[in-house]
Amino acid sequence: MTGPSSERSWWKESIVYQIYPRSFNDSDGDGIGDIPGIVEKLDYLDELGIDVVWLNPVYESPNADNGYDIADYRSVAAEFGTMDDWEELLAGLHERDIKLVMDLVVNHTSDEHEWFRESRQSTDSDYRDYYIWREGREVDCDGGPRGPDGEAPPNNWESFFGGPAWSYDEATGEWYLHIFDEKQPDLNWENPAVREEIYEMMEWWLGKGIDGFRMDVINIISKPEGLPDGEDDGAVVRGAEQFVNGPRIHEFLREMYDRVLAGRDVMTVGEMVDLSVEEAREYVGEDGDGMSMAFNFDHLRLDFGPHGRWDRGEWTVRELKGTITHWQRGLAEDGWNSVHLNNHDQPRMVSRFGDDGEYRRESAKLLGTLTHTLRGTPYVYQGEELGMTNYPFESLDEVRDVDTLQNVATAKLDGRIETREEALDLVRYRSRDNARTPMQWSSGERAGFTDDEPWIPVNPNRGRINAERARADEDSVWHYYRRLVELREEHDVLVYGDYDLLLAEHEEVWAYARTRGDERALVVLNFGDGRPRFDPPAEFDGEDAELLICNYEAAASAVEPVELRPWEARVYRLTG
Ligand code: TEU
C-alpha cells in the first residue's frame, strides 16, 4: 500500500525533528515548555533546515506519564497553551514548509478520561467495554498483589513501568489492565465503538491540516482472547509475547487505514515494541498495513543487561553495525527505515554511543553523520543538534520520570540494586530524564529555557553546550548538522541509494557504500578514540572522489588509505 522501497515520497526525503514540548521552550515563565515557546523558535527550526516536526503529546493530561496519559484527545493542555496557539504553530510551520506530525496514543487513555470515569462506575456502564476489566483469580502461591478476598490479578502480565499490569478497582470489585502506569488503562480494541471513536478523532485532527501521526506502542493494541499468562521469561516484559503483534493487529490497522488514512498524503510512523524485520514488513511493506515506517529498538537493546533494560550490559561497534545493517538489508526492497539513536525515552546518544567527554563534539558529529547517511528517514531529537549530553544525577530527587522511579524501586525490591550509588549509576546511564532536561538555548542559569524554576533541572554543562554558542561557532555540532541536512537535499544517493556494508569484521571502523545507478557515496566512521587505518576495499581504492563532509580539517580528491583520527567521520562522493 505504501509502494516499493525505491518510490519517491516526501517523507523519505524529510528529516524529522522531535519536540518534547515540556522541555523545549517556556514562554510564560511557569517552568514548563509550551506551544507559544515553540512558535518563538520557528526560525531556529527553519535555519536548521529540518522538514517535519513530530510533537510529543500536548493534550489535556494529569501527567502521570508526561502527556502519554491523555484525558481529552481533542484538546490542548492549559499548561501548553490554547488551541489557538496550536493553530498558530501549525500555520507558522506550514509557512516555513515544515510539516507537523502529532502523537497518537491509543493503546490507553488516562484514568481521568471521561470514558474511564464512566467505565469504572459500574459493570453495566455503557463505557464498561471501552476498557479491559476482569475478575481476579484464586491462586495458592504467595506474594504479589491481592484483592480484598485474597484473589490475584487476572493474569501474570507485568507493566513496562514495573509491577503487575493490573489494578484492582474497589467500586466494582474487578481489575483493569494497564500495560503502562496504573493511571494508563488499556483501551479495549475488540470493541468497535472504541475503534470508531479513535478513527473520528484522527479525522478531526487531519481535518485541521496536520501531516501525519506518530503512533505510540501501536503494535500492542490487540490482546488475545482469554488473556493467557505470559510464559517467555526473555520477553521485554512478562506477557509481551501475548500482546505484541496480537491476533487482530493487522485487521485493526488496515481498518484504520481504510477508514481514515487512505487517499491522504500523510506520514505515519508506528512505534513498535519488540519488532522483527519480518514483522516490520507486514506493517510498512508494499502489502502491509499502509504505514509509512516503524521505529524498531533492536539497536537500543544492545546495552541491556541480563535483567533487561534496568540493568546495564556492554555493546560493541560490531554489534551496532550488525544490528543496523540487518534492518538496512531487511527493508531494502520492501518498506522503509526510520533512523534514530535517541528520543524522549532514551539516554542522549552522544553519552551512550559516543564520548561525552574529550571527544563530545567529534563523536556527536560522527553519530549525526551516521543517522543522516543511512537509508531511511533520520529523526533528530531536540538538543541532539547541539550535542547535548546525559545529566549527572546526584540524587533521586532530581528524577521526575515514572518509568525510572518505579523500575528503580522494583529493582531495589528484587535485590538487583543494593546501594544508592548503584541506583544513581543506573539512572545516569539509563533514565529517560537524561533526554528530558531543558533544551539549552543559552549559558544563563536556566539555559534560556524559562524565567522561573524549571520543572526538571537544567544540565550544569549549559555554559559550554547551548544554541547561542553553537550558532556563533562555525565548527559546532549545530553547523555540521545544517550541512548534513543540505547534503541529503543535494544528493539523492544519500536518500535512495542502496546500502552495502564494507569491512564487516572491523572492530572500530564502520564503513558503507551507498549506490544509486552511477551515483556512489562512501561513508567511513571511526567509532572510538583510537587511530585505526582505513584501507579502502579494492573497488574504491584510488577512485576520484570529492569529500562531501568530514568532522576534521581534511582534503581529498580520491579515496585513499588514511589513518583516521578519534571519532573521525568522512563522506566521499565518487566522481570518477
Ligand atoms: O513508549 C513505549 C515503550 O515501549 C516504553 O515503555 C519504553 O519501553 C520506555 O520508555 C523505555 O524506552 C511510549 C512512549 O514513547 C513513552 O514515552 C510512554 O511512556 C509509553 O509509550 C506509554 O505511552
From residue 439, how far is each of 129, 358, 414, 425 by CA, in Å? 41, 22, 35, 23
pLDDT tens digits, residue range 23-38? 999 999 999 999 999 9
Question: Per residue in 566-575, pLDDT tens?
Answer: 999 999 999 9
Q: Has residue 192 got a pLDDT over 60? A: yes
Ligand 1 atom closest to the Cα of residue 346 is 12
pLDDT > 90 in the chain, percent: 94
One domain, residues 389 and 457: yes
Terminal CA-CA length for the chain: 38
Whether residue 159 is contained in a domain is answered as no
240-269 pLDDT, tens per residue?
999 999 999 999 999 999 999 999 999 999
- pLDDT tens digits, 331-374: 999 999 999 999 999 999 999 999 999 999 999 999 999 999 99
Do 506 and 470 have their domain in common?
Answer: no
| Same domain for 406 and 298 | yes
Cell numbers for 435, please give them: 533526554
Q: Has residue 1 got a pLDDT over 80? A: no
Encode 421-436: b = buried (16+ Cβ within 10 Å), e = exposed: eebbebbbebbbbbbb
Residue 168 within any structural domain of the chain: no
The verdict on whether 287 is a catalytic residue reads: no
Distance 124 CA to ligand 1 centre (A): 32
Distance CA 277, CA 299 (A): 13
pTM: 0.97
Cα gap 46→98, rounded to integer Å:
8
Rounded to 5°, the CA angle 541-547-553 comes to: 115
369 part of a folded domain: yes
Q: Is residue 144 part of a domain?
A: no
Q: What is the pLDDT of residue 2?
A: 59
Residue whose CA is closest, atom 2 of ligand 1? 217
| 434 and 561 together in one domain | no
Q: Is the dihedral of CA 301, 304, 308, 309 positive or negative?
A: negative
How far is the C-alpha of 435 from the C-alpha of 389, rounded, in Å? 8
Helix (H) / strand (E) element for 8: namely none
- Of 478, 510, 537, at which residue does a domain stop? 478
CB atoms within 10 A of CB 316: 13
Same domain, 511 and 381: no
**Which pLDDT score is estimated for 215?**
98
Asked if the model's pLDDT at residue 92 lies above 90, the reply is yes
Query: For residue 123, how far is its CA from the centre of ligand 1 (angstroms)?
Result: 30
Classify residue 290: in a domain, yes or no.
Answer: yes
Q: What is the pLDDT, as a whole number, of residue 472?
A: 98
* pLDDT of the residue at 82: 98
Q: What is the mean pLDDT of residues 397-402?
A: 96
CATH classification at residue 320: 3.20.20.80
Q: What is the mean pLDDT of residues 429-452?
A: 97
* CB-based contacts of 230, cutoff 8 Å, min separation 6: 155, 156, 157, 158, 238, 239, 240, 241, 242
| Domain contains 484 | no
User: Are the C-beta atoms of 119 and 131 separated by less than 8 Å?
Assistant: yes
pLDDT band at 138 (very low <50, low <70, confident <90, very high): confident
> Any idea of the CA torsion for 322, 217, 46, 386, to the nearest 10 degrees?
-50
Q: Is the pLDDT of residue 402 over 90?
A: yes
Q: What is the mean pLDDT of the chain?
A: 96
Q: Which of 345, 379, 429, 434 to mutate to test the pocket of ligand 1 (most atoms within 8 A of CB)?
A: 345
Q: Mind listing the pLDDT tens digit for each residue in 481-490? A: 999 999 999 9
420: enclosing H helix or E strand: helix 420-430
The model's pLDDT over 274-313, given as tens digits with 9 standing for 90+, comes to 999 999 999 999 999 999 999 999 999 999 999 889 999 9
Name the catalytic one among 69, 216, 384, 403: 216
Domain final residue pick, 433, 451, 478: 478
Q: SS3 for 199?
A: helix
Judge whether residue 238 has pLDDT over 60: yes
Bridge-based pairing state of the strands 338-339 and 308-312: unpaired
**CATH number of the structural domain spanning residue 564:** 2.60.40.1180
Q: Is the CB of 341 under 6 A from ligand 1?
A: no
505 in the same domain as 431? no
Ligand 1 contact via 273 beta carbon (within 6 Å) = yes
pLDDT of 232 over the 90 cut: no
For residue 129, the SS3 value is helix
Residue type, 183: K
Q: Which amino acid is at 204?
A: W
Instruction: Please identify, by atom number, the ligand 1 atom nearest to the C-alpha of residue 161.
Output: 6
Same domain, residue pair 389 and 517: no
Q: Do 520 and 574 touch, CB atoms closer than 8 A?
A: yes
Please confirm, yes or no, whether 553 is among the known catalytic residues: no
Nearest Cα to 350, choosing from 465, 438, 482?
465
Residue minimizing CA distance to atom 4 of ligand 1:
273
Give yes or no for residue 143 having a pLDDT over 80.
no
In total, the chain counts a number of residues equal to 576
In this predicted structure, the answer to whether residue 3 has a pLDDT above a threshold of 70 is no
267 phi and psi, to 5 degrees?
Answer: -110, 135
Q: Using DSSP, state whether 304 is helix, strand or coil.
A: strand
Q: Which of 210, 252, 174, 215 is nearest to 98 (CA)?
A: 210
pLDDT at 166: 97
User: What is the three-class DSSP state of 551?
Assistant: coil
Same domain, 425 and 553: no
Report the pLDDT value the prediction gives residue 148, as an integer from 0 to 100: 87
401 lines ligand 1 (CB under 6 A): no
Q: Domain range for residue 271?
A: 10-107+188-478
The average pLDDT across 399-407 equals 95
Question: What's the pLDDT score for residue 140?
Answer: 65
Is 157 a member of any domain?
no
d(CA 367, CA 354): 7
Residue with CA at minimum distance from ligand 1 atom 20: 68
Q: List Cα–Cα distances, 134 to 122, 128, 139, 280, in angstroms.
A: 13, 11, 15, 32
Question: Is 110:69 a contact under the CB 8 Å cutoff?
Answer: yes
Same domain, 368 and 510: no
Segment 514-572, tens digit of pLDDT? 999 999 999 999 999 999 999 999 999 999 999 999 999 999 999 999 999 999 999 99
Do 195 and 329 sit in the same domain of this protein? yes
Tell whether 270 and 239 lie within a shared domain: yes
487 domain residue, yes or no: no
Task: Work out which ligand 1 atom sits closest to the CA atom of 297.
Answer: 12
With residue 271 as reference, give the H or E element that holds it.
strand 267-271
Contact 448, 442 (CB under 8 A): yes
Number of domains in the chain: 2
What's the 220 CA to ligand 1 centre distance in angstroms? 12
Same domain, 92 and 199: yes
Confidence grade of residue 144 (pLDDT, cut at 50, 70, 90): confident
Q: Is 80 exceeded by the pLDDT of residue 273?
A: yes
Percent of the chain residues topping a pLDDT of 70: 99
